[in-house]
Amino acid sequence: MLSAKSLFQEILDNDESFRLFCSIAASGESQGGWENGRIAALVPESQRALAPKIARHGADEDKHGRIFNALLKKRGLDACPVPYETDYTLILERHGIGLAHDKLRADQPLTERDIITYLAHSRVTEQRAADQMVMLRKFFADHPEVGKAVRMISNDEDNHLAYTHEELLRFAAAGHGRAIQATLRECALAEIRIYRDVSLAVMARMGRILGWSRAKSALLTAGIHAMYAYERLGGWRRMVSLRMPERRNALGGPATSAPEFA
């Protein structure tokens, strides 16, 4: 029976597919760490209180990248180059979602509108990350090889999602509600399309590595397109709603370490 659990187990059991999976994940997390670090350094004076939280967000992303690289190392594998069409984080940036890297490489302070754009982008992408980790935690929280990593990263993603809700609601209360909703909608509609395209590219490469039959590949492709259709028809709205989270001030302290993955 084809299921999310059996699919990931198949990827996990094969060194080459596991190598590709971890390499893609490590690359995306490392890029997210760099982006958050630069944003924290360029926060405008009016929002300096946010800088430690943004830096914490970046430190978490860097930690996740190290965790995925450590999982590779434990299996005696090196990271592989990430094909462009599978690089979700880079493609989002290339399509103008979030803050452009040219702006982050400059030494000019960001504006409050830039910070709202960053938070809205994070709200959307952290929803995707949190949803994926909930699925992995459901099936692999006790797995001897990846269980610790899954639990730790899942908890961090829940913190990141809570943080974006809380901070966006703070900006909305300050009169930015219309801009926030417009930016969230734009980000969400672009993200679901890019996520579909990246998912198709990743599955195609996994299929070649694992020798999937034409029928199995077609079924997975149809499933990805069906998910996109659902999200395009209205499922994207879960990515733009805002509510005060149960986890308040989720990024208010120092980043947690992961010594077991060092």
pLDDT digits (tens, 9 = 90+) for 128-174: 999 999 999 999 999 999 999 999 999 999 999 999 999 999 999 99
Element (DSSP H or E) covering residue 189: helix 177-210
Token pair for 67: 């965790």
* Domains with residue ranges and CATH for the chain: 4-242 (1.20.1260)
Task: Yes or no: say if 207 and 189 are a contact pair by the CB < 8 Å rule.
Answer: no
Token pair for 227: 């998910």
pLDDT digits (tens, 9 = 90+) for 168-220: 999 999 999 999 999 999 999 999 999 999 999 999 999 999 999 999 999 99
Distances (CA, A) of 98 to 88, 132, 180, 236: 13, 21, 13, 17
SS (H, E, C) 147-181: HHHHHHHHHHHHHHHHHHHHHHHHHHHHHHHHHHH
With cut-offs at 50, 70 and 90, classify the pLDDT of residue 253: confident
pLDDT higher than 80, residue 257: no
pLDDT digits (tens, 9 = 90+) for 81-136: 999 999 999 999 999 999 999 999 998 999 999 999 999 999 999 999 999 999 99
pLDDT higher than 60, residue 262: no
What is the maximal distance between C-alpha atoms in the chain? 57
What does the alpha-carbon distance between residue 128 and residue 25 come to, in Å, rounded to a whole number? Answer: 13
pLDDT higher than 90, residue 4: no
At 234, is the secondary structure helix, strand, or coil?
Answer: coil
Token pair for 219: 């079924």
Task: Yes or no: say if 253 and 56 are a contact pair by the CB < 8 Å rule.
Answer: yes
Q: What single-letter amino acid sits at 233?
A: L
